[in-house]
Amino acid sequence: MTAHEVPRALMVDGFRARRSFGFGGLSKTATIIGAIVLLADGVIGSQAPVTLLFSVPATLMVFTLAAARRHGMSALAYYWAKLSWQRATKIEATSFRRLLLPHPYALDLPGVGASSTLIKAHDPTTGKAIGVVHDRVTGRMTISTLLAPGGSLMAPTSSVQSSLRTWSSVLDAMSTDEMIMGACVTIQITPGAGDALGDDVAARQDPGAPELAKQIISELVRTTPRATASVASWMSVTVDPLAAAVPPTDLSEQVGEALKVVDSLDLSGTGTDIERRATDVDLRRLVRSAYDPAVFNARDADFAELSWSECGPQAADDGWQEYAHDGGVSVSYVLREMPRRPIAYSVLLPLLAPGRFQRRITLAYRVLDPMEGEAVLEREISNAQQREQTTAEVKGRAKWSQRADTQRAEKAAAQMAGGSQVADWTLMVTVTARTDTDLPAARQEIERAVKATRGIRMRPAYGAEAAVFAAGLPLGYSPLVK
């Protein structure tokens, strides 16, 4: 089904990036800083006029970079990130090597996952184990739920509308709970069925079967991993148990409080089936297989004895546009811009189609509470109107794009007044190739999938490859959560 065949009732819109008001292409903060710098240049120049020959051109160059755009961001931010990454590379801060003691934290996960640890909790309602990722710095806990998404492309329009409304209700519940810091939904697609398929066939095979049948089954087991894909999907919710009305002091009580908060989110009716809460073995499998895709379909016994630090890489190097680790090289992409027109609910389908390489698609959410959401929208309306008014005063009329942007901001405010919620969200995609020689093909595969969405624009995660890689794992890290 193409985007043109999707009923109007199943088209979604309302995507808008935050925009501050400033001079030219500058943000409000950059405009204020620029005014202060120019004032300082004038004061210094009044005492030593010769300094103006150097300070004014340098200031204007910085302003030009701040106003110019590069890959959807200001050129100043892009080149500053580039310089910061180069400096980190010189001091070897972008390289990770898992060493033995006496280094106290040498066995932790690399990068943003260094402060995390895995807790094996017991669920008294089901009697099963649950894996809880605890951030030792912030005290936050992340609990993941394994999902089994059902297909909706052939479902009736009413069923899809009901699923969308139910998901909206889940986000609404997140906005009113102070303990929920954020959530993300991840779908990981791994080519090949691996050893698990062979074990399953061997257990079912009849020893008395004809020899020809055995040969055919053996050939299928050998070739099928190259033509199939394993799909794993999960939702991770980050909870701050210390934000409760009566903050628990004991670690076990904090885990119990986090479990109660996650249990309050009802995902039934969202178009997906809940398999179970992720166990500690499930989390080890997801994290370890991200660094080494070849072990994704290994047996549970292979992960049960792994320590949390052993789930990470033995060695990793965070490059400007790639992230090299144990089992291959990964490239991550982040959302640059959503279409300004209504899009079909199935717009991400090209990204979810299996390919040659393992990929993870992550939607991260941070739902604003009603008070914060209202303040944000009022500020956005004010900024949009000021941009429109300033352009009209300078050029005689405002740009049509500015008028349309003001209308979108006002429409969002009207929707919130009607009961909708405001959410900060982003889309991240990571693809992993086994060797450096396969990396260009992996890039091309993702870029073609992004183009097939017909409107979504993404860019490489320049200088943040390791962080975006970790954001797609159930480690409790989200770029939206402060």
Question: Could you tell me what percent of the chain has a pLDDT over 70?
Answer: 89
Contacts of 49 (CB under 8 A, 6+ apart): none
pLDDT at 440: 93
pLDDT at 2: 46
pLDDT at 47: 77
pLDDT at 395: 83
Query: What is d(CA 339, CA 3) in angstroms, rounded to the nearest whole number?
Result: 13
Asked whether 398 and 462 are in contact (CB, 8 A), the reply is no
Query: What is d(CA 42, CA 33) in angstroms, rounded to the nearest whole number?
Result: 14
Query: What is d(CA 189, CA 446) in angstroms, rounded to the nearest whole number?
Result: 13
The model carries a pTM of 0.84
Asked whether 108 and 287 are in contact (CB, 8 A), the reply is no
Asked whether 334 and 321 are in contact (CB, 8 A), the reply is no
Query: What is d(CA 65, CA 204) in angstroms, rounded to the nearest whole number?
Result: 65
pLDDT at 23: 63
pLDDT at 3: 44
Task: Tell me the pLDDT tens digit for each residue of 186-196.
Answer: 999 888 655 55
Peptide bond preceding 124: is omega within 30 degrees of 0, i.e. cis? no
Contacts of 458 (CB under 8 A, 6+ apart): 333, 334, 335, 336, 427, 429, 450
Phi, psi torsion values for 181, nearest 5 degrees: -90, -30
Question: What is the DSSP annotation of 367-431?
Answer: EPPHHHHHHHHHHHHHHHHHHHHHHHHHHSS--HHHHHHHHHHHHHHHHHHTT---EEEEEEEEE
Query: What is d(CA 391, CA 386) in angstroms, rounded to the nearest whole number?
Result: 9
In this prediction, the residues of the chain whose per-residue pLDDT falls under 50 are 1-4
Asked whether 427 and 361 are in contact (CB, 8 A), the reply is yes
Query: At 141, is the secondary structure helix, strand, or coil?
Result: strand
Task: Tell me the pLDDT tens digit for each residue of 337-362.
Answer: 888 888 888 888 889 888 889 999 99
Query: At 45, is the secondary structure helix, strand, or coil?
Result: helix
